[in-house]
Amino acid sequence: MQPIKKELYNFISHNLYELTWHRDYPMHHGIAIWGLLEGLRESGIPFAINKETKSVTFHPTYAIGENLFSFEKEMTFEEILRGWDRHPLGLPRAIYDSITNLVEHTGKGLEIGDPLREEWHALRLTEPSRIRRVVETHWVPWFDKYQEHILVPTSGKMPELGKPKLFFKVLDEIPLDPIRLISMARLDKPSSGPCADNMVGYCLSDFDEYYCPSESTILDYFWGYYLYALAEEKGYNLGQGSREENLEYLLRAGWDALPPTSTIDWAGKKGKAA
């Protein structure tokens, strides 16, 4: 893959991961669970998987003051994916809920007024975020490998994990070749150019060393077209506007133009982000 094309590919991979958090979209359940367990393993939290009951028994141990607190907590895969009663299953924040649930159980035996509660409270505030950052290091590489297949469609059917197709489809069909444009922008360093939503209808011949979109604008342009194709594939409702109006909004606002999960019918049931 040529360098600029690889940069665009990496840009899409990174943005898709960020999209799951910003719009609270569900991830492939297998990837979500696997990343969580690998992150917990790396964080030193033992666990045992029961494939028959589709559950995990966790055995965390934390030092609070001079005392070691150990406990056992069993959670089904569905409970892990649901978090604090979120819908649909597999929202990244739901996995974070489950991490928080584990840490909160550490202090269940501490009575109000116990001097150790203050130390436990400090642990409760910091440990879930620390574990989440470790878990994320195990999620991110899968977005680079599978891209759009990590995101669950509104039908709720788990995507088949395979080679990304949408990136190459958009790259082939987009009116203005972003690779050519980026090459021009880097070579000529133009002094002015259009915004991403104003690039619709332009031809490559309209640009020269003086007038050409900036590299960041070209990325916004490509991302907007990619999001339009992603919304069509996953079933995200972009509203009642025409194709041109919806596309212009995506080019201008990026993922903020996509509906949040709470407004989407996920397999016949409204999303519940919190």
119 lies in some domain: yes
Task: Give the per-residue pLDDT at 273.
Answer: 63
Task: Give the per-residue pLDDT at 170.
Answer: 97
Task: Give the per-residue pLDDT at 96.
Answer: 94
Q: How many CB atoms lie within 10 A of CB 141?
A: 12
Q: Domain count of the chain?
A: 2
> Which residues does the chain have with pLDDT short of 50?
none
- 146 with 191, same domain? no
- 73 with 186, same domain? no
20 lies in some domain: no
Q: Which domain holds residue 190?
A: 166-270
Cα(190)–Cα(135) distance, integer angstroms: 42
58 lies in some domain: yes
Instruction: Examine residue 88 and say whether the peptide bond preceding it is cis (omega within 30 degrees of 0).
Output: yes
- 142 with 170, same domain? no
71 lies in some domain: yes
Task: Give the per-residue pLDDT at 88.
Answer: 92
**Burial (0-12, 13-18, 19+ Cβ within 10 Å), 2:** exposed
88 lies in some domain: yes
- 102 with 200, same domain? no
157 lies in some domain: no
- 213 with 122, same domain? no
- 178 with 129, same domain? no
- 54 with 102, same domain? yes
33 lies in some domain: yes
- 140 with 192, same domain? no
Cα(16)–Cα(20) distance, integer angstroms: 7
Question: Could you give the count of Cα atoms lying within 13 Å of 231 in the half-sphere of its Cβ?
Answer: 25
Cα(248)–Cα(236) distance, integer angstroms: 16
Domain end residue (candidates: 116, 150, 184): 150
Q: Which tens digits make up the pLDDT trace of 208-252?
A: 877 888 899 999 999 999 999 999 999 999 987 888 999 999 999
Domain end residue (candidates: 118, 150, 182): 150
Domain end residue (candidates: 126, 150, 174): 150
- 192 with 257, same domain? yes
Task: Give the per-residue pLDDT at 269.
Answer: 74
- 195 with 123, same domain? no
- 102 with 181, same domain? no
Instruction: Give the residue among 63, 47, 65 at the shortest CA–CA distance from 55.
Output: 47
- 144 with 48, same domain? yes
Task: Give the per-residue pLDDT at 107.
Answer: 64
241 lies in some domain: yes
